[in-house]
Each structure stands twice: as C-alpha cells, then as structure tokens.
C-alpha cells in the first residue's frame, strides 16, 4: 500500500512511489526516538549545536540537488527552490549559533525569602512534526532546528507528495552525525499518525497545514493531553494607504502574491487600497501580474510555475468560478493549462460571498477600495484568519497605529519577503497557535523547570 509519490506537477508524470511504513516498523521508530532522547540528554548543548551546524552546512553543500527535488515534487521555480534551501540552512545555523544563549538559565527575582530561584530549560522527549508540501525544507527547518538543539528527538511525517525531499532531509541528519532515532522520517498514514500522537512516549506535536488538518490533530492531541503547535491558513491583508512610488509598491504587492506560485500561507492575498489610489493600483497590479513569466519551473527567470498538483488546480479553479458566480468581477486570469494557473485578479468580492472568507492557495488576488484608515483596518480584520499582514504608508505614526489595530501574528511595514530565522512566525484566530523561529520558537517544546534554592 502506498500514498506517497513524487508526481511532477509540470508534466503529470509519476516519478516514483514509496511504501507506507508498517505498524511494526512504526513502533520500532517510536522506540528508537525514545531511546535517542536519552542520548541527546547525555551530551552538551554545544555538542548538539555542532551537529545542527553540520546540518546547515550540508544544506549548502547539496543545495542544487535539494532544490531540484522540490522543483520536481511540487513545481517551485528553481530560483525560489534554491532560496528555500539557503533559508533553511540559515535557520539551522541560527539555532546552532544561539543554542547556548537560548537554553541558558534564567534568574527569577524573589519577592520574599532568602536564596535564589531560576528557570532551567530542558527537553521534553519525542516530538511529532507533520509538515506540508509547499515549503518542504523550510517548514522542517523551523521545527527541527530549535528542537534538536534543545535535545528533543523528532518523528517527521512529511506531505504525501514530498517523499523524496523527506528522505533527503533524513539522510542529511544521519550524515551530520545524529544517531538513528534522533530524527526519523515516517511514511505514515493518517490512521498511523493518530496512533503516534496517542503513544505515551510522544510528548508533543507540531503541524503546519490546513484548518481541517489542524482541527483534527488538535482534537487527537487534546484527547491525549499533548502539547500542540499549529500553523494553519491565512488570508493576509496588504494595506496601501499612501506611497511615494506606486510602481514600487505594486511590485512588492505582486511579489507578495505570487511567491511559491501563490501557495504560501503568509502570502498577501487581499489588497486593501485607499480609494484615491485604488484605480491606478488596480491598473498597474493587473499589468504587472500579467507580465509575470509563467512556465517551466526548472528554467531561470520563471516567475510562476505549476500549482502543486491536479487537485490544487481543480480546487482553485472551482473557487474562482464560484466567486464570479457570487458576484465578483474577474479582471484578468482565471484560466489554466494543465497545472499552470494564470495570475488572476478579482474585484467586487462582497462580504456575503464565499470568496470573502476563504483562503485562495494560488496566484489569485482580491483587490478592495476603502475610504479611509479605519475602514482599511476593519476590512483587514474581517476574516477568520490572523497570520500575517502588510502595511504600506509614508506616515510612520499611521504605520504603527494600523499595525496595532490589525488582528494578526505578524505585521510587515513597507516591505515584503522580510522573514528571518530570528523573527517569530505564527498567527491568531483560525491561523493557529504557538510560534516558530527565533527565541519564541525555541521556547515551545521545553520544560521550563523552576528551581528554588534556599
């Protein structure tokens, strides 16, 4: 039985299939991870950091090979694939560089009594990571990087369409010097994942994926009293209130929409523009997205490759058709050839329509006109999601005022593509809970043990 396969979305070719793990081998993997946790606690944080640093180095050494894999698996344009590998290496390097500081004791100022008190951070044990297909290396790095330096051991279930990159990451961990069990790739079924979460040896689970997947995993984790971190969907607003260079702002807007072929949870998806700039913004945005080169993801210069799968294309096609049927205006796009979906612009999306509250996972932009700042913030917040957001304005005070008013886990002011290994990533509302990356990402799956000394 298999559900894991590399199916090239650009050609439809099934490149290779992989067998699902047997129940006996799954139990052996959990046992090995549990035993490896004893090993990880027996070495210093500096030694764990050295292993993670080697993981970063191997990503750099194998960057072209790794990039080629995910171009083949999910259609990411090769330049973006190389960028993802580089960013993943940066994340591992960040945690290696900062491991000692992130895990150092934290003194507590006592209000009464003699002596002292401190917080000492230590590992929890075996963790399960459930990762999506859209950033096959980056998503793993931001989960595995901090937890390996902490001393947790990892069971990693990747998306069914990313078995080759999943295997490549597991090989890197072994080649870096981690023993068997410290990081284990699982080609597991959904039923088997329920078993893993329920196992007493597993202490927590982190999922990046859809709302539906998040709700299902959270339910199982809650039933088994397991810590859970969820990074789910997003319908991020891109607010334009003023600009000194509309062409530059439009360029940033288009880049924020089409990154990863429009398949990023924190991509800008709803463009909310002050009414005096609305028409010129719409005209320039439409022209710019029509100018993006759609084509072979293996070729340099391709701006839009294929969507990740036939299913993804069918879903997006249905969403756009339903949006138009419910009153939206299709300004451009809305067409596909195979899994190649054209850059698309929708206007007149009304609050009563499905599209107003849905996430579009592909190069589809909704553009709205608002009369003032208050209306922009209200529209930005009128969504079930709360992951990221973007604010463009020439007024610094307005920028911070709007940032304070937006219900989201992240706000970027006058820039896009500015994620960093040191910057916490995560959202609120139906976009999930918990944080990854930076210091906050390293504080999710730790025992913050209080020690009081008399």
Q: Give the model confidence (pLDDT) of 132-164 as tens digits.
A: 999 999 999 999 999 999 999 999 999 999 999
Active site residues: 231, 265
List of residues 6+ apart from 148 with CB closer than 8 A: 48, 51, 52, 55, 95, 154, 178, 182, 183
Whether residue 1 has pLDDT greater than 60: no
Torsion angles phi and psi, residue 48, rounded to 5: -65, -40
Please state whether 417 falls in left (phi above 0), alpha (psi between -120 and 50) or beta: left
Instruction: Please report the pLDDT score of residue 416 as a whole number.
Output: 97
d(CA 94, CA 96): 5
Q: What is the pLDDT of residues 368-412, one digit of tens each?
A: 999 999 999 999 999 999 999 999 999 999 999 999 999 999 999
State the average pLDDT for the chain.
97
List of residues 6+ apart from 359 with CB closer than 8 A: 233, 234, 235, 265, 269, 385
The number of C-alpha atoms within 13 Å of 453 and in the hemisphere containing its C-beta is: 9
Q: What percent of the chain has pLDDT over 70?
A: 100
Instruction: Please report the pLDDT score of residue 2 as a whole number.
Output: 59
d(CA 269, CA 258): 9
Q: Determine if the pTM surpasses 0.85.
A: yes
d(CA 49, CA 164): 26
Q: What is the pLDDT of residues 235-256, one digit of tens each?
A: 999 999 999 999 999 999 999 9
């Amino acid at each position: 039985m298999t559900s894991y396969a590399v199916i090239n979305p650009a050609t439809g070719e099934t490149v290779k299939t992989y067998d699902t793990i047997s129940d006996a081998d799954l139990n052996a993997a959990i046992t090995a991870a549990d035993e490896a946790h004893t090993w990880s606690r027996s070495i210093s944080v500096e030694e764990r950091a050295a292993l993670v640093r080697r993981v970063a180095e191997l990503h750099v050494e194998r960057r072209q090979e790794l990039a080629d894999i995910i171009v083949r698996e999910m259609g990411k344009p090769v330049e973006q694939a190389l960028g993802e590998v580089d960013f993943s290496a940066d994340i591992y390097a960040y945690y290696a560089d900062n491991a000692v500081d992130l895990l150092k004791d934290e003194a507590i100022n006592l209000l009464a009594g003699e002596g002292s008190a401190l917080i000492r951070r230590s590992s929890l044990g075996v963790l399960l990571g459930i990762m999506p297909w859209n950033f096959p290396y980056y998503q793993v790095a931001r989960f595995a990087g901090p937890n390996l330096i902490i001393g947790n051991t990892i069971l990693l279930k990747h998306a069914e369409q990313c078995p080759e990159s999943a295997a490549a990451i597991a090989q890197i961990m072994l080649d870096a010097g981690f023993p068997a069990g410290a990081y284990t790739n699982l080609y597991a079924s959904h039923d088997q994942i329920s078993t893993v979460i329920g196992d007493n040896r597993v202490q927590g689970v982190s999922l990046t994926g859809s709302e539906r997947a998040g709700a299902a995993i959270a339910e199982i984790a809650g039933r088994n009293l397991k810590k859970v971190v969820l990074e789910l969907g997003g319908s991020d607003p891109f607010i334009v209130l003023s600009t000194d260079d509309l062409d530059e702002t439009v360029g940033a807007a288009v880049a924020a929409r089409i990154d990863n072929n429009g398949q990023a949870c924190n991509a800008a998806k709803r463009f909310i523009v002050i009414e005096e700039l609305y028409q010129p913004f719409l005209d320039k945005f439409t022209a710019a997205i029509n100018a993006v080169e759609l084509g072979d993801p293996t070729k340099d210069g391709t701006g839009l490759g294929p969507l990740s799968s036939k299913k993804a294309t069918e879903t997006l096609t249905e969403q756009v058709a339903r949006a138009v049927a419910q009153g939206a205006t299709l300004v451009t796009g809305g067409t596909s050839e195979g899994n190649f979906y054209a850059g698309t612009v929708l206007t007149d999306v009304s609050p009563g329509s499905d599209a107003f509250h849905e996430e579009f996972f592909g190069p589809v932009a909704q553009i709205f006109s608002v009369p003032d700042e208050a209306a922009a913030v209200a529209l930005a917040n009128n969504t079930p999601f709360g992951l990221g957001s973007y604010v463009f304005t020439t007024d610094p005070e307005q920028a911070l005022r709007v940032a304070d008013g937006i219900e989201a886990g992240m706000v970027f002011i006058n820039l896009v593509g500015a994620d960093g290994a040191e910057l916490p990533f995560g959202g609120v509302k139906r976009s999930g809970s918990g944080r990854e990356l930076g210091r906050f990402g390293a504080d999710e799956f730790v025992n913050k043990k209080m020690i009081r000394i008399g």
